[in-house]
Every structure is written in structure tokens, then in C-alpha cells.
Amino acid sequence: MPAQANLPPEFVLNTAVEQDIAARLNRVLPPDKFVHLISRVATVMKARLAEARTSIAEMKSSSFNPSEAAATKIQSAWRAHKTRCVVSGLRLLNQRLDAHGLRSEESVGDGNCLFRSISNQLFGTQDWHGHIRARACEWIDQRRESYMPFFDGRSQDFTRWLNRMKRSRVWGNELTLRAIADVYGITIHVVQSTSENWHVIYEPELAKIPKAYVSHKHLPNLSWKRASREELQLCLK
């Protein structure tokens, strides 16, 4: 522990001092003693902060400077760990797909993958992703009062987010999935590789038509059942 020469003896940090402060805080004290106790707490906290800053400074100093070989080894180990996590996630996801009679289909990794997955499920092609994005954003814009609570009622934050979401290559999220389910009257099942909440369902407020399955993040979109020609015509209205 670093030296604390600037502190009076009774304020030197140790277990006994901290236990005494904790015990005093649990009692009802007269105002004069309470103020004195708070002064002691402030002094202790300042000393703790100084100690933390010293530790951080030591870590940033030349003494904490791994060699190039060691840094390369750390980076390689981190990349290997990430690869194992991805492979493990894909394996788990595929097991869940098999159990539900689903199969994966690759989509372009350009930031439009959520909208591409929905387009592929509804229209048999990923090319309509821009149309789906536009319809979802239009739906959200026309029902601002329903989506504003997700932005704590801050109109500027909502407008900023919506303007960004209208641009191509911006990742979709839960709000756009909610809007897509309502726009097209479909039930969307999101299958993920997470340990919990790996099957998320978005139900439409309107009458249900087909089911659409998409996977988590940029994992492949899933195929199970596509809409009929009559259903597609209804979706496009």
C-alpha cells in the first residue's frame, strides 16, 4: 500500500478504521458527530482513489510493457478463443435448427442481413431487403408514440435513431423486428446461439399470415415455410 504521509495517524487506512466507520454509519448520530464521520469517510475515499490512481499509473509505466513476442502470443490466444466461441456457437445453433426441422442459408454480410433474412423468407430472394427496411421505418415513423418509450420519451434521440436506421447497411434490431412483424402480419421466430432466451418470438398485432425464421446477428437466415403467392400479394399492399 502506498505511503500516506499526508494523512493524520487516525486516518491511516486499515481494517479497524473501516470497520469502525461502518459501525458508526449504522447508528443514529447527532448532527455534529455525523458531520465529523462523513469527513472521515471522505478522507478515506480520497485515499482509496489516490491508491487506485497509483496502481493504474504503475500498470501504464514501462514496467508493464510486454515484449513483442509476448504481445503476439496474447493476440494469437485471443483470436483462437474467439474462433472457438464462434465454432461452438454455430454447432449449438445447428443443433437447435435440426431439432426444429430448419436449415440455414447464407446471407450477405453487409449490415442488411436482418432485412435480407426476412426478404428471403417472404419473397424467396434477399433482393427486397431495402423495401422491407423502408416499410419498417415508415411504420415506426407513423407510430412514434408507440416507440418513443424505448427512447425515454426523447424525441431527438428517436429521430436520430430512425434517420440512421433508414440508411442501408445499418444493423436492424428488436424494434425493426417488431415493426416488420406488424407491417407484414407475420410471426417472426429468432433462433440464437445464446445459452438462455435463444428462441424469441415476435407476434404481429394484425392477423397472422406466414412464419418467418431468422437467426442471431449475422448467422445464416433460416428456411422453413414461405408464403403463398396470395399471401405475398397481401403483404405488398
* Per-residue pLDDT tens digits for 114-135: 999 999 999 999 999 999 999 9
Which DSSP helix (H) or strand (E) runs through 53? helix 31-60
Q: How confident is the model at residue 32 (pLDDT cuts 50, 70, 90)?
A: low
Provide the 3-class DSSP secondary structure of residue 213. Answer: strand
- Tell me the CATH number at 161: 3.90.70.80
Decide if 44 is inside a domain.
Answer: yes
Domain identity same for 107 and 49: no
- Provide the 10 A C-beta neighbour count for residue 37: 16
DSSP one-letter code for 172: P
Q: How confident is the model at residue 34 (pLDDT cuts 50, 70, 90)?
A: low
Decide if 73 is inside a domain.
Answer: no
Decide if 145 is inside a domain.
Answer: yes
Lowest mean pLDDT among 58-62, 91-95, 179-183: 58-62
Domain identity same for 231 and 150: yes
Q: What is the pLDDT of residue 110?
A: 93
On the 0-12 / 13-18 / 19+ scale of CB atoms within 10 A, 83 is exposed
Domain identity same for 182 and 129: yes
Domain identity same for 226 and 117: yes
Are 172 and 217 in contact by the 8 Å Cβ rule? The answer is no
Domain identity same for 40 and 107: no
Domain identity same for 135 and 199: yes
Domain identity same for 43 and 143: no
Domain identity same for 120 and 34: no
Domain identity same for 168 and 222: yes
C-alpha cell, 171: 444493423
Q: What is the pLDDT of residue 38?
A: 66
Q: How confident is the model at residue 232 (pLDDT cuts 50, 70, 90)?
A: very low
Are 141 and 131 in contact by the 8 Å Cβ rule? The answer is no
Question: Into how many domains does the chain fold?
Answer: 2
Decide if 226 is inside a domain.
Answer: yes
Decide if 72 is inside a domain.
Answer: no
- Report the pLDDT averaged over residues 66-91: 83
Domain identity same for 113 and 227: yes
Domain identity same for 118 and 211: yes
- In this prediction the pTM is 0.59
Decide if 85 is inside a domain.
Answer: no
What pairs with residue 104 in β-bridges?
222
| Rounded alpha-carbon distances, angstroms, from residue 73 to 80, 81, 186, 202 | 11, 12, 49, 44
Decide if 4 is inside a domain.
Answer: no
* End position of a domain, from candidates 60, 75, 91: 60
Decide if 170 is inside a domain.
Answer: yes
Domain hosting residue 154, numbered range = 102-236
Give the pairing type, strands 211-215 and 221-223: unpaired
